[in-house]
Amino acid sequence: MSSSHFQLSLPDWVQPYVASLPEQIQDVSARMQVAIALARYNVDNGTGGPFGAAIFEQNSGRLAAAGMNLVVGKHCSLAHAEMVAIMMAQSALKTHDLGRAAGAPYQLVSSTEPCAMCLGAIPWSGVQSLVCGANDADARAVGFDEGEKPSDWQGGYQRRGIAVECGVCGEDAARVLRDYAASGGEIYNSGA
């Protein structure tokens, strides 16, 4: 068995993009545009799939971490945009529980509704708010397998104290998915 290990590092284009952002982003639509831009840059730079996510300090609007889909390039099925953003935020804040971290509460902004895997991980991350752009049907329409999700996942989150808002800049986010598929981007885990 090899002694290699998974190392999470973001593509080179991420830091300059993040550095160009305002220090605080108050508007939820503007936060979503960050997640969508992460997805778009990821595709345009050939560094991953058409999904982006960002974690913000909910009240101040400060960006805590950026994430993008790195599944194919990192050879890791766990490296979805939401999971990458969560891992980067927890690492930067030196905690496994964002609900107890300085700057809490935290908000996860994702360019697309979470798949089944991310849906299960988000509550354990400690974020207290989730904002989504494109919906599950948009991801499935281009061929991604989103897994089996409870029909009332939003209600389940709300019962756990996690606020959910979906459809924010949904058409902009869905366009990234469609453009990726139309350009021949790899649709992994498609069930095919």
Report pLDDT for 14.
97
Alpha carbons 70 and 48: distance in angstroms, whole number = 5
Q: Is residue 63 within 8 Å of 22, Cβ to Cβ?
A: no
Catalytic pick from 82, 146, 165, 171?
A: 82
pLDDT digits (tens, 9 = 90+) for 113-133: 999 999 999 999 999 999 999
- The partner residues of 132 in beta bridges, in order of sequence, read 110
Is 192 a residue whose pLDDT tops 80?
Answer: no
pLDDT digits (tens, 9 = 90+) for 79-103: 999 999 999 999 999 999 999 999 8
Tell me: pLDDT of 169 over 90: yes
Q: With bands split at pLDDT 50, 70 and 90, how would you rate the model's confidence at 8? A: confident
Q: How far apart are CA 13 and CA 22, in angstroms?
A: 17
Q: Give the pLDDT band (50/70/90) at residue 53.
A: very high
- At CA 32, angle to CA 185 and CA 156, rounded to 5? 95
Interatomic CA distance for residues 39 and 35, integer angstroms: 6
Name residues whose C-beta falls within 8 Å of residue 15's C-beta, 6 or more positions apart in sequence: none
**Do you find a cis peptide bond into 105, omega within 30 degrees of 0?**
yes
pLDDT greater than 60 at residue 25: yes
- Percent over 90 (pLDDT), the chain: 88
What is the arithmetic mean of pLDDT over 131-142? 97
* Residue 75 binned pLDDT confidence (cut-offs 50, 70, 90): confident
* Residue 23 annotated among the catalytic residues of the structure: no
pTM confidence score:
0.95
Residue-level pLDDT at 189: 73
Residue 4 has pLDDT above 70, yes or no: no
What pLDDT, on a 0 to 100 scale, did the predictor assign at position 6? 62
